[in-house]
Structure 1
Amino acid sequence: MTVHDSTIKLAASPRADTDLVAMLESLFADYRSKRGEPTATVNFDAVLWQRLDDLGLTRLTGDESRGGSGASWVESSVLLGAAAGAAAPVPLAEHDLLGGWLLEVADLSEGGGLRTVCQPDDGGLARTVPWARSATSIVALWKSDRGWRVADVPAASLSVTQARNLAGEPCDSVRFDICDLEDGADVSDDTAALYRLRGALARCAQAAGGIARVVEIVLAYVDERVQFGRPIGKFQAVQSLVADLAAEAALARAATDAAVARVVTTGWNDPGTPFTIGVAKSCVGHASSVVVRNSHQVLGALGTTLEHELPMLTKSILVHRSDFGSVHEWDTMLTDLSTEAGRDGLWPLITSRSDHPTA
C-alpha cells in the first residue's frame, strides 16, 4: 500500500446535501485553524456556539413551528461528525437531539439559551452531566412513582458541582429539587428507551467524525515524516497499521450511516431500528480501540504531547464510547435480539423496511 493523498473529505451521511457538507467542512476547518494549541482542559466555546446559532445549526432538527430548522437525522449526523472532527466544545447533541426533542415530546416551551440534558436518580441527583456549568437550563428525564416525566429547570436554581471526565471535558453533578421534577410533564414509558437510542446514535455520529479526523491526521503524518531517507508510509509495518485503522474507520462510518438511513426511512418504531443502532454502536466501539491504538503507534511520542491535536480527539472518542450503553451492553443486546429472531427471523430483522418514511 502506498499513501498518495493525505486529505480525507468529510464523509456524508445518506442523501446529505452537498452544500451543507461543504459549508460545515469550511466552517470547522476555519475553527481548527483559529483555535490555537490544545489544552489539558476543554471549555465551552461561546463564540462558536453563537456562530452556529446564527446559522440555525444549534436547533437543526427542531420543529420549525418551535423555532427549529426542521432538518432530519441525515443533516444532524453530518453536523455532529464535523463538529467532533474539529473537537468543537459545544453541546449540539444535548441541546438539540436530546434536550430539545424531550421538550417537544413533553409539549413544553423552549426558552432561550443553552440547554443540556440528564436523567436524575430517585433522590434528584444526576451525575456526569455534560456542559451543566454553561447551561441556561437543564432538561431532566425522570422516573417518578407515576411514570416518566420531563422537566425543564433553570440552571440558576440548581446545585452544580463541577467536575471533568478523563478527556478534560466539563461533566458535572447536578442536584435537583424533587418538586421541580414532579412539576414536569408526563411522557410515555417508551420515551426513556427512545432517549437511549437517540443518544447512542448521536454518539456514533460524533465518534465517526472524530475517527475520520484521526485517519486524516495519520495519513498526513506518514507522508510527511521521513525516516531512513523515505516517508514512513513506505514501510510495510506502518502501512499495516494505517490499513487497519482506515478499514475500521470505514466500518464505523458505514454502520452509522446505515442506522441513520433506517431511522429516516422507517422511523424509530420500526422493530429493526434498535438492532441497526446496536450494530452501529458495536462497530463504532470496537473500531475506536483499533483507531486509537494504531494512530498513537504511528505517531509515537508526538501524538501524546499536549500541543498535538491527536490526543484531544482520541481521549474524547474513548470516553464517550460508553455513553448510552457500553460496547459490551450493546454486543449483548445484539446477541439477544439475534437469538430471539431465530434462523428464519434474523434476515428480516436486518433488512426490514417500511413503506411510510418518517424523515
Structure 2
Amino acid sequence: MDELAALVEDIGRRSYDANFGKRRLPEVFDAELWQNLDETGLSRLTTEQGAGPAESAVVLGGLARYAAAVPIAETDLLAGWLAQQAGIAVPETGPLTVAIGTGGTATGVPWPRAATVVVADRSADGLSVGLAADPQITDGHNLAGEPRGTLAYDTVGLQRLDTAIGDELARRGAWARCVQIVGAFDSALELTVAHTSERVQFGRALSKFQAVQHSLAAMAGEIERARAATDLATAAVTEYGFAAPQADYAVTVAKVAVGRAVTPVTTIAHQLHGAIGVTIEHQLWSATMRARSWSDEFGSTASHARRLGRLALDAADPWDVLITCPTPG
C-alpha cells in the first residue's frame, strides 16, 4: 500500500505542477496524466489488475487530492465493471465513462466527450447496458468545471441485466465519491494549515490566533468523522463485496457522514483563506468545488439519510443497525 500511495502521489503531483494556474471552465481532459495512469496499470486497477477496493481507494483519494482532470472512478470501478457484467467489449486503453439514464436520456454524465460511453438505462424491470453509438451530447460542467453532459442515446440492442446490477452500480459510485471527497478534504486542510501558518496579521501568523485554531480543529474533526465512515465502507466492500447488505449499509452511512461534512469543511477553508481561495487558479477552489459537486452525485446526502432511516425502521432491532453493520438475513 505504501508503494502504491507513493506512486499515486508522484503521478498526481506531477500533473498538478504541470497544470498549475491553468485551470479553466470547463476543465480539459489531462491526456498526459491518463497516459501515465494507463502505463502504470492504475487506470484499470480492479478490472484488469486484480486489485480490490482498498487499493482502489488509495488511487481515487490520492488523485482527488491533486484535482486530477480524468474520469478515474468512472473508467475502472463503474464503466469497466459494468461492461464486464454485460459481456460487452470496451477499448483496452483510454478512458471510459458511464451514462446512467432512463428512456434514452442521461444527465450529469462525466467526461462524455473524452471517454467511451457505457450506457446504463434503468427501468422498473431491469437495467439495459451497451455502448453508446453516436450519442447526442449537450455539454455542461459541475461547480468544479468537470464536464457533465446530457446524453440522448439509442436503447435498441442494449443488453438486459438484473435490477440488482443497477443498484450495485449506484453503490459503487456513491462509495467512490466518498473516497474522492475525503481526498479533496485532505487537500483543503493541507492548504489551509499552510496558508494560516504563512499569513501574518498584526505581527503574528494567523495560526497563532485562538479563533483560527478553533476553526482548524473543527475542520479537522469533520474530516476525520467523514474518513472514519468512509473507512468503514471500504472495509465492508472489501470484506463482503459491493452487492452485500453490509456494503449497502456502510456506504449509506458514509454518504451521509461525508455529505454533512462538506459544508463546514469547505466553508472554514474559504473563510481562513479569504479572497484568494475563491480564485479558479488556486488549488483550494478545485478541492472544495469538487467536494461540493461530488456530494450530490450517486444520491444526495438527504436521500441517503432517508434510506438510512428506513434501514433502521425496518430492522428487527434498530439498536443493532446503529452499532453494527447488518448481517444477511
TM-score under structure 2 length normalisation: 0.94
List gaps (5 residues or longer) in structure 2: none
SS of corresponding position for 1:51:
helix
- Give 2:136's match in structure 1, choosing from 159, 178, 183: 159
Give the superposition deviation at 1:269.
Answer: 3.6
Q: Give yes or no for contact 1:288–1:317 (8 Å, CA) kept in 2.
A: yes
- Give 2:12's match in structure 1, choosing from 22, 25, 28: 28
User: Counterparts of 1:32 and 1:203 in 2: how far apart (Å)?
Assistant: 20
Give the letter aligned to residue 198 of structure 2. E
List gaps (5 residues or longer) in structure 1: 1-16, 63-67, 355-359
After superposition, residues 1-359 of structure 1 pair within 5 angstroms as 17-41=1-25, 42-62=27-47, 68-112=48-92, 113-122=94-103, 124-135=104-115, 137-143=116-122, 147-154=126-133, 157-179=134-156, 183-343=157-317, 346-347=320-321, 350-351=324-325
- Using a 3 Å threshold, how does the CA distance of structure 1 residues 38 and 215 change in structure 2: closer, same or farther? farther
Give the superposition deviation at 1:309.
Answer: 1.2
User: Counterparts of 2:288 and 2:33 in 1: how far apart (Å)?
Assistant: 22
Summarize deviations over 1:70-124 as a string: whole Å, max 9, x none.
11110111111111110010001111100001011112222233221012221x1
Give the superposition deviation at 1:347.
Answer: 4.7
SS of corresponding position for 1:325:
coil
Q: Give yes or no for contact 2:252–2:308 (8 Å, CA) kept in 1.
A: yes
Q: Give yes or no for contact 1:288–1:318 (8 Å, CA) kept in 2.
A: yes
SS of corresponding position for 1:31:
helix
Q: Give yes or no for contact 1:38–1:308 (8 Å, CA) kept in 2.
A: no
User: Counterparts of 2:124 and 2:185 in 1: how far apart (Å)?
Assistant: 42
Q: Give yes or no for contact 1:276–1:350 (8 Å, CA) kept in 2.
A: no
Give the superposition deviation at 1:204.
Answer: 0.4
User: Counterparts of 1:18 and 1:162 in 2: how far apart (Å)?
Assistant: 39
- Using a 3 Å threshold, how does the CA distance of structure 1 residues 224 and 105 change in structure 2: closer, same or farther? same
Which segment drifts farther, 308-317 or 163-172?
163-172
- Using a 3 Å threshold, how does the CA distance of structure 1 residues 210 and 38 change in structure 2: closer, same or farther? farther
Number of equivalent positions: 326
Structure with greater contact order relative to length (CA < 8 Å, sep ≥ 6): 1
Give the superposition deviation at 1:344.
Answer: 6.0
User: Counterparts of 2:316 and 2:218 in 1: how far apart (Å)?
Assistant: 32
SS of corresponding position for 1:21:
helix
SS of corresponding position for 1:142:
strand
User: Counterparts of 2:46 and 2:242 in 1: how far apart (Å)?
Assistant: 15
User: Counterparts of 2:126 and 2:317 in 1: how far apart (Å)?
Assistant: 37
Which segment drifts farther, 297-306 or 242-251?
297-306
SS of corresponding position for 1:84:
helix
Give the letter aligned to residue 200 of structure 2. V
User: Counterparts of 1:298 and 1:91 in 2: how far apart (Å)?
Assistant: 30
User: Counterparts of 1:61 and 1:331 in 2: how far apart (Å)?
Assistant: 29
Summarize deviations over 1:143-198 as a string: whole Å, max 9, x none.
358632211234xx22212222222221111111232xxx1222112011111110
User: Counterparts of 1:348 and 1:169 in 2: how far apart (Å)?
Assistant: 36
Give the superposition deviation at 1:230.
Answer: 1.4
SS of corresponding position for 2:28:
coil
SS of corresponding position for 2:324:
helix
User: Counterparts of 2:327 and 2:239 in 1: how far apart (Å)?
Assistant: 8
Give the letter aligned to residue 164 of structure 1. H
Give the letter aligned to residue 194 of structure 1. E
Give the letter aligned to residue 93 of structure 1. A
- Using a 3 Å threshold, how does the CA distance of structure 1 residues 261 and 223 change in structure 2: closer, same or farther? same
Which segment drifts farther, 227-236 or 336-345?
336-345
SS of corresponding position for 1:39:
coil
Give the letter aligned to residue 84 of structure 1. A
TM-score under structure 1 length normalisation: 0.86
SS of corresponding position for 1:151:
strand
User: Counterparts of 2:318 and 2:235 in 1: how far apart (Å)?
Assistant: 24
Q: Give yes or no for contact 1:148–1:187 (8 Å, CA) kept in 2.
A: yes
User: Counterparts of 1:349 and 1:272 in 2: how far apart (Å)?
Assistant: 13
- Using a 3 Å threshold, how does the CA distance of structure 1 residues 19 and 191 change in structure 2: closer, same or farther? same
